[in-house]
Structure 1
Amino acid sequence: MTASGAALALLALLEAVREHWTMMFVWLGVALVIDGIDGPLARRFGVPDVLPDWSGDTLDLVVDFLTYVFVPAYAIMASKLLLPIAGPLVGIAIVMSGALYFADRRMKTDDNHFRGFPALWNAAAFYLLLLKPSPGVATLVLAVFVILTFVPFHTLHPLRTLRWRPLTLVLIGVWAVLAIFTIVADFNVPAAVKIALCAIGGYVLFSDLVVRTYSRITS
């Protein structure tokens, strides 16, 4: 099941080459679902004990790099929404920073947060096509996220972070419904949908930073 994510990454890349962004996100979405359920299933059925010669963790990182970083990096470069000169440089920065992030043993904290921007370049590509900012703004924002990969603030793990977990799960469910609606509508959605998607994305990325900053100020 985990390895099938590599096949889905290839299908998504083929659609990206054709600039069929909707179908690209369909395949990446299926890969995202598999990534969410393969770990619990592996633990439930004791796969590490049944297949001790195979590393599920390593396989998961390989597949995640393809679906979260490599294919989205190509889509971002090919979208024609960045500054022409900067586009290839941003793509290179994304794949290199993403590779380093997945090799970082500190990428997850003890309280189930991600350290820094968690290489969610599939989401970055989604928001780029959703919002279609000016090339200068798009290039600057993506460059900032590359830098944030190495900044040690904490971001929520949508399924495992315990703080406000019920709220997080509800918001992730709402985000999934809105994202599916957006993809089916070929990104032609009302402003309210865009605002809701951006608000939930901001919550996942920065809510822990806001809470920790507030606690330091008031303590």
Structure 2
Amino acid sequence: MDQINQQVSSTVSPAKRVAAFSVHVFTALGAGIALLALLEAVREHWAAMFWWLGAALLIDALDGPIARRLDVARVQPNWSGDVLDLVVDFVTYVFVPAYAITASGLVLPLAAPLLGIGVAVSGALYFADRRMKSADNHFRGFPGLWNVAAFYLFLLHPAPAVSSLAVIILIVATFAPFHVVHPVRVARLRWLTLSLMAIWAVLTVVAVANDFDVGVPVKSALCLIAAYVVVSDAAIKLVRSFKA
């Protein structure tokens, strides 16, 4: 198979190979942005950290469609876009947020190091799990979105004991057999999901731009959208079970 891929790649023009490799560079740029986010976190510039994590999230949303458009897997067979994507996702979705949760004072001080380790370890295991997505493209368990979890902790700023309990629940939920909707790949109610994600993105920008000092309507809307993502699959299955 490798020999076939090499033969296919050798027939591709240099310009196409450069274009395809540039997509890998674009993906890898997320790792550099993660470093910038971590530097801001070390300085306790939390809003700035989330701006950088948001930029990394944007790259993650764009690189896949571009890679498929340029047929990167075929044109550059020596480079694994899947592995690269997982590496970058781990540092942006898990590692930097784990530091923020540990160092921000949002959780109980004595528990913070253990919770941070729990986030990092559970996140690493999740990204290595071949069953992380179901056949219908739902995430299996809490999908390691610790950047989003950290955002809600900063947004709602609950008592440290409550935050600590929430982190523990999410660590356990990483391995729980329930499904969470993928905002793009799940076909069912995609129009609704994408519409809510657009609203969520706007409200998130508003919250970060105001250093999380936003009113109840914004916080409530963000929480309701999060609830939809988490429970929509279970709710639909429950309704269908009653109809059956």
Q: Under a length normalisation based on structure 1, what TM-score does the superposition of the two structures give?
A: 0.98
CA distance in 2, matches of 1:191, 1:34: 30
1:60-99 counterparts in 2 under 5 A?
60-99=85-124
CA distance in 2, matches of 1:141, 1:147: 10
Larger CA deviation: 209-218 vs 192-201: 209-218
CA distance in 1, matches of 2:180, 2:78: 33
Unpaired runs of 5+ residues, structure 1, are none
User: Which secondary structure does the structure 2 equivalent of 1:172 belong to?
Assistant: helix
Question: Which residue is equivalent to 1:180?
Answer: 205
Question: Which residue is equivalent to 1:49?
Answer: 74
Question: Which residue is equivalent to 1:167?
Answer: 192
Question: Which residue is equivalent to 2:53?
Answer: 28
Question: Which residue is equivalent to 1:140?
Answer: 165
CA distance in 1, matches of 2:125, 2:238: 27
User: Which secondary structure does the structure 2 equivalent of 1:54 belong to?
Assistant: coil
Question: Which residue is equivalent to 1:12?
Answer: 37
Runs of 4+ off more than 6 Å = none
CA distance in 1, matches of 2:106, 2:70: 45
Question: Which residue is equivalent to 1:104?
Answer: 129
Per-residue CA distance 1:23-55 (angstroms, 9 max, x = gap): 101110000000001011000001011110000
Per-residue CA distance 1:75-100 (angstroms, 9 max, x = gap): 00111011111111111000000000
Q: CA RMSD in A?
A: 0.8
Larger CA deviation: 54-63 vs 103-112: 103-112
1:107-122 counterparts in 2 under 5 A?
107-122=132-147
1:152 Cα deviation (Å)?
Answer: 1.3
1:205 aligns with 2:230: yes
Q: Under a length normalisation based on structure 2, what TM-score does the superposition of the two structures give?
A: 0.88
Return the match for 2:84 from 59, 64, 74. 59
Larger CA deviation: 208-217 vs 193-202: 208-217
Identity rate, percent: 60
CA distance in 1, matches of 2:218, 2:190: 23
Return the match for 1:127 from 144, 147, 152. 152
User: Which secondary structure does the structure 2 equivalent of 1:2 belong to?
Assistant: helix
CA distance in 2, matches of 1:212, 1:96: 31
**Aligned partner letter, 1:96:** V
CA distance in 1, matches of 2:243, 2:111: 42
CA distance in 1, matches of 2:102, 2:235: 32
Per-residue CA distance 1:148-185 (angstroms, 9 max, x = gap): 00001110111111111000000000000000011100
User: Which secondary structure does the structure 2 equivalent of 1:180 belong to?
Assistant: helix
CA distance in 1, matches of 2:66, 2:46: 30
**Aligned partner letter, 2:47:** T
Question: Which residue is equivalent to 1:192?
Answer: 217
CA distance in 1, matches of 2:192, 2:217: 20
1:212 Cα deviation (Å)?
Answer: 1.5
CA distance in 2, matches of 1:16, 1:103: 26
CA distance in 1, matches of 2:168, 2:239: 27
Unpaired runs of 5+ residues, structure 2, are 1-25
1:216 Cα deviation (Å)?
Answer: 2.7
Aligned length: 219
Between Structure 1 and Structure 2, whose CA radius of gyration is higher?
A: 2
